[in-house]
Structure 1
Amino acid sequence: MPRPHLQQQSIDEKQMQNRQKTFVRQGAVAAVVALACATALWLLGRGETAAANSAASAAAPAAPASADATKAALTVTTTRPRPAEWAQTLAANGNVAPWQEAVVGAELGGLRLSEVRVNVGDVVRKGQVLALLSADTVQAQLAQTRAALAETQATLADAQANAERARQLQTTGAISAQQINQYLTAEQTARARLEAQRAALKAEELRLSQTRVLAPDDGVISARQATVGSVAQPGQELFRLIRRGRLEWRAEVTAAELGRLRSGMKATLVAADGTPVEGTVRMVAPTIDPQTRNGLVYVDLPADAGVRAGMFARGEFQVGRSGALTLPQSAVLLRDGFQYVFHVGPDGQVSQLKVTTGRRLGDRIEVLSGLKPEMPVVASGAGFLSDGDVVKVVAAPQVAAAPGAGVSAASAAPAVRR
């Protein structure tokens, strides 16, 4: 017979299990309800999106017309080609070289350089001492020659006294004619030896002066090989001197263009810092290089030109003047390797025109073909335009010039605005 407390425990366990099953069923029902709500909300949102897309599709045909109606045109300023008279130029390349370069060397050999007084870049004057050679040996030989000269002078004085006495006794017969002739001959020999010693003395003095290496002309030292302590050899180069500091531009010009140049023509080349340098044609070479088929044109440059010997320079020659149709460089657009301008029609629509350009001067460029003088074109900002665009033309803005600047309103750069 079961015990009462065990029966009561069994009943409690069954009730607990029933409650757990009930909770599980309720949770499952709640999950199903939540899923159904989420599905309904998603379907509702999808329906609203579809309705909105349908409304947008219905309104689409009218959008382009509205956009075209409200599209804002570019605002530009225009300019017209302006005739001008420009110089005809001939471009050339070449090197800058000294007008004349003097080589200064030693005239004596076997003497040591004791002092060097100048260096590369120094400006020297004609006759200025550049270097000194050791003069000890030359001075000793000079002293010896002077002593020999004094001895010769004494010998000549004695010979002259003997010859004078012989002349006095010639008519008396006290001495023979042969002895008189010997005295006269000794006098002439002593005089010749004296002249020879004097010449030797001048030679030694000249050798002494040659121990001082002097500048042969005014100029600038461009090279130096002299070193203190080295032994100079006759004709050895010690210094190189640009005479008078003068430089010239040796421009290479083709044989076909060489005949257009004459002495006295003006030339302009660009220095290393971009400064233009004016020169004058001194000479046109009479021959043509058979290798390059080019001829040289020698252009004299001013002393303060700001260029250096050995540098490469580009320049041009002014061979005359001619008319030109010009535009601001800002009006010409480089696109796909060609140059274009944008012509503005009466209705404000722009058309892209291909042009051929030539010379440039300042901020203007010459138009050779592709544009008529009366055609207005966009002044600047052509890079923002395409063929067929519609623009709005306005007057160029007035820019006040600064006092003393000399800038007029017409020279102000036009702008392109959106």
Structure 2
Amino acid sequence: MTRVVTVIGMALLGLVVLVGCGSDIEPGRTLGEASKVQGLTVATAEASLLAGAEMFVGTVESSARGMITSRIDGRVKRIGVSEGQSVAQGALLVTIEDNVAGDRLAEAEGAQQAAEARASLANKTFERYQNLFSQQAVTPQEMDRVSAELEMARQQLRSAEASVSAARTAASYSRVVAPYAGRVVRKEVREGSTVMPGTPLVVLDRAGKLQVRAEIGDAWASKIQTGQSLSVELPALEKRLAAKVAEVLPASDPRSRSFQIVLDLPEDAEIRAGLYARVYVGQPEVPTVLVPRSALVQRGQLYGVFVVDEQNTLRYRLVRPGRVHDDKIELLAGLSPGMRYVTAGVDQAVNGAVLED
């Protein structure tokens, strides 16, 4: 009996507590009322027909890249360019300090002066003997000897002049100049480095046409032709360009099951060799959803948009972005046609908030 009374007492006490708590909540209000936002721009997602594409990785490169090397022994005295710098034809790239070439030039010039003196003396001697021979004052044998000496002196002079020319050319190799106008890609040496003939000094890209070289899956081997236009994206510059196929390499790599293609890029001062590129090979048009870039919200490594449900409540929804099309982004998953989403003012949007008109 005592146990029954105790249970009834506890039940009555709980009822009293509930009645007391309920009296604190004003009529017409609930706990945890949702916040409200306004001033957001909302649009309805629509399906757009875009050409689907398979993406392949490529690299921007010059149509002509050259390795400038040293032709003499010596020490790098000065490097006159920096990486990425544009240079004109004949511009000084590297100066090599070379005492050997200078000494050889001085020696060759001295030998030339001596040969010139001998040739001058032999010519004068020949003229004198020629006058004496006309007067029959010297024998034919003596005249032949003087003629031979003159010819030998002339040969020695020509040889000395050739040596001077070669020495001057070798000495000029201490000044390494650009063989053509272009852009410096990379410096292979530093000031003070010792170099020998054949040592790489500077990598130089020829100015003008840039290209993209890409590895394409061999399933496309029969579908890509020279002159065909493909879409090329440069993520670093946020640019998408049309490029024509300039070359299709016939050999396929059996390990990667791919082959190479080369595309000519249009002229653009911002594009430089070495940039990462994406090459898209087209497929039939497929429906896709495009949203403005302003609608995309990044949180860490994830992307999402704020959708508006039937109760006008904002919900943060994860999406998977795809290709960039000018000021819009393709969404591969997460947003379906017909769904309402926030296009502007996402910085004010809060998950679970009610959107007011």
TM-score bucket (shorter structure): 0.5 to 0.7
- Structure with the largest fraction of helix: 1
Instruction: Tell me how far 1:245 sits from its aligned partner.
Output: 6.4
SS state of the match for residue 286, structure 1?
Answer: strand
Q: 1:289 to 1:329 in 2, by over 3 A?
A: same
SS state of the match for residue 124, structure 2?
Answer: helix
- Contact conserved, 1:107 with 1:234, CA < 8 A, in 2? yes
- Contact conserved, 1:222 with 1:240, CA < 8 A, in 2? yes
Indicate which of 253, 260, 270 corresponds to 2:223.
260
Q: 1:207 to 1:301 in 2, by over 3 A?
A: same
SS state of the match for residue 203, structure 1?
Answer: helix
- Structure with the largest fraction of strand: 2
**Per-residue displacement from partner, 1:351-370 (whole Å, max 9, x unpaired)?**
xxxxxxxx99757899xxxx
Aligned length: 280
Q: 1:291 to 1:169 in 2, by over 3 A?
A: same
Q: Please give the alpha-carbon distance, in whole angstroms, between the structure 2 residues aligned to 1:178 and 1:134.
A: 53
Instruction: Tell me how far 1:170 sits from its aligned partner.
Output: 3.0
Indicate which of 346, 365, 379 corresponds to 2:338.
379
Q: Please give the alpha-carbon distance, in whole angstroms, between the structure 1 residues aligned to 2:338 and 2:227.
A: 40
Name the amino acid aligned to 2:69. Answer: G
Q: Which residue of 1 aligns with 2:254?
A: 290
Q: Please give the alpha-carbon distance, in whole angstroms, between the structure 2 residues aligned to 1:210 and 1:125.
A: 18
Structure with greater contact order relative to length (CA < 8 Å, sep ≥ 6): 2
Indicate which of 208, 212, 219 corresponds to 2:175.
212
Name the amino acid aligned to 1:223. Answer: R
Q: Which residue of 2 aligns with 1:193?
A: 156
Q: Which residue of 2 aligns with 1:244?
A: 207
Q: 1:92 to 1:147 in 2, by over 3 A?
A: same
- Which ranges of 4 or more aligned residues in structure 1 deviate by more than 6 Å? 43-46, 77-82, 363-366
Q: Please give the alpha-carbon distance, in whole angstroms, between the structure 1 residues aligned to 2:290 and 2:115.
A: 89
**Per-residue displacement from partner, 1:146-168 (whole Å, max 9, x unpaired)?**
22212211211221122223333
Segments of 5+ residues of structure 2 without an aligned counterpart are 17-42, 292-322, 342-354
SS state of the match for residue 170, structure 1?
Answer: helix
TM-score normalised according to structure 1 size: 0.56
- Contact conserved, 1:272 with 1:307, CA < 8 A, in 2? no
**Per-residue displacement from partner, 1:291-331 (whole Å, max 9, x unpaired)?**
21211111123453745544543231458xx6x5747558x
**Per-residue displacement from partner, 1:99-154 (whole Å, max 9, x unpaired)?**
33211111111x22222212222222221111112244433332332222122112
Q: Please give the alpha-carbon distance, in whole angstroms, between the structure 2 residues aligned to 1:266 and 1:283.
A: 12
- Contact conserved, 2:44 with 2:337, CA < 8 A, in 1? yes
**Per-residue displacement from partner, 1:11-35 (whole Å, max 9, x unpaired)?**
xxxxxxxxxxxxxxxxxxxxxxxx9
Q: Which residue of 1 aligns with 2:22?
A: none
TM-score normalised according to structure 2 size: 0.65
- Contact conserved, 1:223 with 1:239, CA < 8 A, in 2? yes
**Per-residue displacement from partner, 1:324-347 (whole Å, max 9, x unpaired)?**
5747558xxxxxxxxxxxxxxxxx
CA RMSD of aligned residues (A): 4.0
**Rg larger in structure:** 1
Q: Please give the alpha-carbon distance, in whole angstroms, between the structure 1 residues aligned to 2:10 and 2:122.
A: 152
Name the amino acid aligned to 2:60. Answer: V
